[in-house]
Amino acid sequence: MSDNRSSMGRFGSDEREAVTFSFDGQEIAARNGDTVAMALWAVGEATLRRSSREGRPRGVLCNMGICYECLVLVDGVAVRACTTVVRAGMKVERGGTPGE
């Protein structure tokens, strides 16, 4: 199920190379230098994990590496989406409970 929202996107001009990665099996077009969190936000994906006890949607809170709310799995390893720079072919999945 996608939470895709068309109002999120990019502005200004962007001449960077395109980089493609997968998010829960879906192909995402990013730009070289994007973090996982920003690449996903730019295509309208704001839900990055589910909360530990109630399974509620969570996403970017601080966007600067402090809060760990944006934990996702990159190639099976839990990382912060807001500090992880995208690589071509990276396999990203929605995260679960932090600390697991």
Partner 1 sequence: MSERVRQAQVGIVGGGPAGMAAASALAARGRSVVVLDEGQRAGGQIFRQLPPGVAPPAGVSEPPSHDHGHELIDAFEGAQVELVSGATVWDSKPGRLWFEHAGESHLLECERILLAPGAMDRCIPFPGWTLPGVTTAGALQVMVRGFGVKPGRRALVVGSGPLLLPTVTALLAAGVEVVAALEASSRWNALRALPGVIGNGARLREAMWYMKQLVRAGVKLRWGWTVLRCEGDRHVERAVIAKVDGQGRPRLGTERTIEVDVVGAGFGLVPAIELGLLLGCDSRHLAARGGHCLVVDEQQRTTIDGVFAAGEIGGIGGAEVASAEGALAAAAIDHSLGGPAVSEPLVKQARAERRASDAMLRAFAPLPGLYQLANDDTIVCRCEDVPLSEARAAAELHGRSSRAIKVGCRAGMGPCQARICGPSLQQLATADPACEMDVPVVRVPVKPVRASTIVNAPG
Residue ranges that bind partner 1, judged by CB under 8 A: 3, 5, 7-16, 31-35, 38, 41-42, 46-48, 51-54, 56-69, 71, 77, 82-83, 85, 98-99
The residue (of 10 and 22) whose beta carbon lies closer to partner 1 is: 10
At its nearest, how many Å lie between partner 1 and the CB of residue 39? 9
The residue (of 65 and 89) whose beta carbon lies closer to partner 1 is: 65
Is the CB of residue 45 less than 8 Å from the CB of residue 57?
no
Distance separating alpha carbons of residues 99 and 27, to the nearest angstrom: 27
At its nearest, how many Å lie between partner 1 and the CB of residue 45? 9
For 7, 12, 13, 54, the CA distances from 92, given in Å and listed in that order, are 23, 27, 26, 22
At its nearest, how many Å lie between partner 1 and the CB of residue 90? 14
Other beta carbons within 10 angstroms of residue 98's beta carbon come to 16
Quickly tell me which residue has 């230098």 as its tokens. Answer: 33
